[in-house]
């Protein structure tokens, strides 16, 4: 049993480190690609392949150190530009909530058909007032997440990115550190 818990903690550690790498390494520096594959893969998991094809995600440079995104439409595509991949995911979530009358939560996804949301009158730009968006606490991490498998962690990481979380609590491995002292 202890080995299974440690194994789940290791998976949790890898998942949280993955989100941190996703956040830190995704700041755009002279990147000019047509569609960011990481953000697009998130959109496929959240929306399904059929609806994800309506989105184009592009990393762009930013002068600030906070997350920001810009959403526009062109040729029946929704173009989301952001200064990192968390901001791209946040842009997707903002669009779904505010333009597509859709909702993604921990328990459910309610996505409207794209025929009602393919055109913006003008581009939308949003910038976070915060450098860091912190998430989680010790209780949730230890009582709930210790027993998650990779599938559940992937859903949580997607939810964190969609909601602009760029600083999740990472408690995994702290007990191992205590054993060595």
| Range scoring the smallest mean pLDDT among 26-35, 58-67, 89-98 | 26-35
pLDDT at 84 over 90: yes
Average pLDDT, stretch 69-97? 95
The pLDDT > 70 percentage for the chain reads 75
Query: What is the per-residue pLDDT across 2-49, written as a single tens digit (0 to 9) for each?
Result: 455 445 556 555 555 555 555 544 443 333 446 899 999 999 999 999
**Which phi and psi angles does 5 have, rounded to 5°?**
-65, -45
Q: What is the pTM of this model?
A: 0.77
Distance of CA 126 to the CA centre of its chain: 16
What confidence score (pLDDT) does residue 11 get?
59
Exposure string for 99-125, b = 16+ CB within 10 A, e = fewer: bbebebeeeeeebeebeebeeeeeebe
Nearest to 135 by CA among 118, 153, 160: 160
The CATH architecture annotation of domain 2-175 reads 2-Layer Sandwich (3.30)
């Amino acid at each position: 049993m202890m080995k299974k818990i440690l194994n789940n903690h290791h998976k949790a550690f890898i998942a949280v480190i993955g989100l941190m790498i996703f956040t830190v390494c995704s700041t755009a520096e002279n990147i000019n690609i047509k569609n960011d594959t990481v953000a697009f893969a998130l959109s496929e998991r959240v929306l399904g392949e059929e609806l994800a094809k309506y989105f184009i995600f592009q990393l762009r440079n930013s002068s600030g150190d906070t997350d920001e995104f810009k959403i526009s439409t062109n040729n029946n595509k929704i173009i989301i530009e952001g200064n990192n991949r968390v901001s791209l995911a946040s842009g997707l979530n903002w669009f779904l909530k505010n333009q597509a009358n859709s909702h993604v939560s921990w328990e459910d996804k309610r996505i409207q058909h794209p025929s009602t949301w393919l055109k913006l009158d003008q581009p939308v730009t949003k910038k976070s007032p915060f450098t860091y968006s912190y998430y989680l606490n010790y209780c949730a991490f230890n009582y709930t997440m210790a027993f998650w498998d990779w599938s559940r962690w992937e859903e949580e990481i997607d939810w964190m990115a969609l909601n602009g979380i760029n600083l999740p609590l990472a408690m995994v491995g702290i007990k191992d550190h205590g054993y060595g002292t």
